[in-house]
Structure 1
């Protein structure tokens, strides 16, 4: 692990499409990062396949073996040398969709509370870090999480043709996303310095940064005035998060407190 005092970004769910694309852009731009991975070699292989060289991975990325239930591993991702916290946290944790024998709820996920659980455990890990070393509470990281359209209680952000899919078929996975959003909002200012909630349309494609159309082509909205569309590419979402949150000089502060809709 590097002992540099350079700010770094903590990634959770880095083998997932949007988050992996964001991590690729982050490392290519020269930033330092840490990432949690159940199988570190899988993450390394994904990054190499994206065109990163082994030297960049070795010098700019620390991969911590573990999963989102492992509090000590989460703490290792969030802190360095016991005193320096990540400046930003990016979480794209999610489950795998599964079909079930139910007309009302035909789709669930393998871990139906994984998004909420991840947020709870990241919050708990930070609380333990602050308690053990109170000076770290002055370095609270921001958090950016990947949620979904179709969970707003303020304004419909799903096109009419997808409303049955989102509000009936995907009701169980979306319940988890809503709880994740609630936990992020509840802990902003207490555990996190700020929060950005990303609500992409139906995700398409994989993490390949060469497979998207480019983040500049995305339509961007807020919860009160959402950008309504059918689909969006995972790689473009990851690149938008890099450009507007990771790379931004204010660490994404201009989007703090926002629920940002992204679509093509």
Structure 2
């Protein structure tokens, strides 16, 4: 179990529902958090609207204004008080965009955002370690939000959703696959000294529902959890529940049995 007095967290995609829910629960539990945001005022408004006291934000939250595809901005978000954070949570993803195409009706506003971010993130970590090895004495644990429907193992999408996932959402899922591949390939390096992370937890969530409200879920203990080899198959899951699961299982329990796995989450 992680010690919040010694553990710090960096959040990417903090204005999205999953990462936002992890952020809220981390702040309420007393963890010090760094969050990268293009528009800090938007993130602050979201947190205050959910009932977080301004005092909590002032004491435990550092908002770094910047872009997740910019190495220097990511580096600033990964450092708190001159030290590399203990945990990194990424809920970053593009916004779906409809297009006139029978084969690929849905794309993203940036179809390559996940892959670009993953490369940027690793480059930022690499530079931090090279510039200040003492700041990176402890390697962080990464949890990233992905999706079902891209498994190399048994089918993890219900039969009635397969057309939606494998045809309609094909373009967004290509980016998710590339993002996952970049992170997992990095962790597959045979020499531990070359890995910039102490571990990775991939979170493949079912179709996401709900918005920005950390109280809107059914509760993380109600979720069904599986792995790529033995997936939990379901239709939907609340963003709030995904964020709470990441906080409870990754942040509080240091990833536990899920480190190194692509975890399927569904209601």
What's the TM-score once normalised by structure 1's chain length? Answer: 0.95
Moved more, 73-82 or 175-184: 73-82
Do 1:221 and 1:260's aligned partners in 2 also have CA atoms closer than 8 Å? yes
1:39 and 2:36 correspond: no
How far the C-alpha of 1:209 sits from its partner, in A, is 1.6
Do 2:84 and 2:136's aligned partners in 1 also have CA atoms closer than 8 Å? no
Aligned to 1:221: 226
State the aligned residue count: 258
CA distance, structure 2, for counterparts of residue 220 and residue 152 of structure 1: 15
CA distance, structure 1, for counterparts of residue 208 and residue 99 of structure 2: 21
Give the secondary-structure state (helix, strand or coil) at the position aligned to 2:121: helix
Give the secondary-structure state (helix, strand or coil) at the position aligned to 1:235: helix
Aligned positions of 1:181-200 closer than 5 A: 181-188=180-187, 189=192, 190-200=195-205
CA distance, structure 1, for counterparts of residue 175 and residue 101 of structure 2: 18
Cα RMSD (Å) of the superposition? 1.4
CA distance, structure 1, for counterparts of residue 137 and residue 60 of structure 2: 24
How far the C-alpha of 1:6 sits from its partner, in A, is 3.5
1:180 and 2:179 correspond: yes
Aligned positions of 1:109-258 closer than 5 A: 109-188=108-187, 189=192, 190-248=195-253, 251-258=254-261
Do 1:194 and 1:253's aligned partners in 2 also have CA atoms closer than 8 Å? no
CA distance, structure 1, for counterparts of residue 151 and residue 217 of structure 2: 26
1:172-219 Cα distance to aligned partner (Å, 9 max, x none):
000000011011112225111100000000001113122111111111
What runs of 5+ residues in structure 2 fail to find an aligned partner? none
Give the secondary-structure state (helix, strand or coil) at the position aligned to 2:157: coil
Give the secondary-structure state (helix, strand or coil) at the position aligned to 1:147: strand
Give the secondary-structure state (helix, strand or coil) at the position aligned to 2:167: helix
Greater than 6 Å deviation, 4+ residue runs: none
CA distance, structure 2, for counterparts of residue 80 and residue 214 of structure 1: 30
CA distance, structure 2, for counterparts of residue 80 and residue 187 of structure 1: 24
CA distance, structure 2, for counterparts of residue 200 and residue 69 of structure 1: 23
How far the C-alpha of 1:101 sits from its partner, in A, is 1.2
Do 2:20 and 2:214's aligned partners in 1 also have CA atoms closer than 8 Å? no
What's the TM-score once normalised by structure 2's chain length? Answer: 0.94
1:72 and 2:72 correspond: yes
How far the C-alpha of 1:70 sits from its partner, in A, is 2.1
Do 1:74 and 1:125's aligned partners in 2 also have CA atoms closer than 8 Å? yes
CA distance, structure 1, for counterparts of residue 199 and residue 46 of structure 2: 30
Do 1:14 and 1:20's aligned partners in 2 also have CA atoms closer than 8 Å? yes
1:52 and 2:52 correspond: yes
Aligned to 2:91: 92
Do 1:40 and 1:65's aligned partners in 2 also have CA atoms closer than 8 Å? yes
CA distance, structure 2, for counterparts of residue 93 and residue 21 of structure 1: 13
